[in-house]
Amino acid sequence: MSWLFEDPTLLIASGVLIEVLLAVALVKSGRTMLMLAMGGVLALMLGGVFIERMVVTDREQIEATLEGVSQALEANDVEGVLAWIDADALALRSEVRNTVPQAQISEVRLFDLRIDLNRFVTPPKAQADFTGRIRGTYRGMGRASGDGMVLRRLTVDFRQQGDRWIITGYQDRGMLTGHEQ
C-alpha cells in the first residue's frame, strides 16, 4: 500500500485511463449512466490523492529531515543543522560545529536518494544513501580556499524519536571536489 502513500502517479494514471475508457463507452453507447460511473471514478481518484497528501510516510519524514538539514546548511545555520542531529551523537555534533562555519554554503542538492527502513528494532532505524553536492566558498578545510563544489557519496543513519527522524551518524563513501572558474 506504500505505493499509494508515496507516489500517486499509478493511481492518477489508472483513473485517467478508466475515465477515457468510460468516455469512449459513453460516446459509443450514449448511455448516460456511464456519466455516474465517470463521476464515481473521479471521486475515488481525488479521494486517493487527498489521502496520499494527508499521510506522511517514514520515507517522506526522512526526506523532510534531509531537506531541513539542506536548508539549514544553505542558511549557514549551525544550530539549525544541529537541531536535526541526535543529542547523543557528540562526535558528529562536534564535527558540524567545526566544519560548517568554515564555509559560506550557497547550494545543497541531493541525488540518487535511497532509503532503507528497519522497523523491527526499537526505536526504528533507517539509512539514507545518496550523493550530495554542496557549492560555496570555503576557507581552509584541508585545501585551498575559494569558490567550489564538493560532491560526496554519503550514507546517513537515522533513528525515530517520537514522530520525527533524527540523524545519529554518517559514513562518507567517497569525495570528489572541483573548483569553478
Model pLDDT for residues 28-59, shown as the tens digit of each residue: 988 888 999 999 999 998 888 888 777 778 88
* pLDDT tens figures, 56-75: 788 889 999 999 999 999 99
pTM of the model: 0.71
Residue 123: is the preceding peptide bond cis (ω within 30°)?
A: yes
Question: Can you tell me the distance from the alpha carbon of 168 to that of 125, in angstroms, rounded to the nearest whole number?
Answer: 10
Q: Which residues contact 147 (CB under 8 A, 6 or more apart)?
A: 135, 136, 137, 138, 179, 180
The single-letter DSSP state of residue 141 is T
Residue ranges in the chain assigned as alpha helix (H): 2-6, 9-29, 33-54, 58-74, 78-82, 90-99
Kindly give the confidence (pLDDT) of every residue in the chain, 181 residues in length, as a single tens digit, with 9 standing for 90 and above: 455 556 678 888 889 999 999 999 989 988 888 999 999 999 998 888 888 777 778 888 999 999 999 999 999 999 999 999 999 999 999 999 998 898 899 999 999 999 999 989 999 999 999 999 999 988 765 555 678 888 889 999 999 998 899 999 999 988 755 544 3
- Which residues, other chains included, contact 142 with Cβ-Cβ below 8 Å and sequence gap of 6+? none
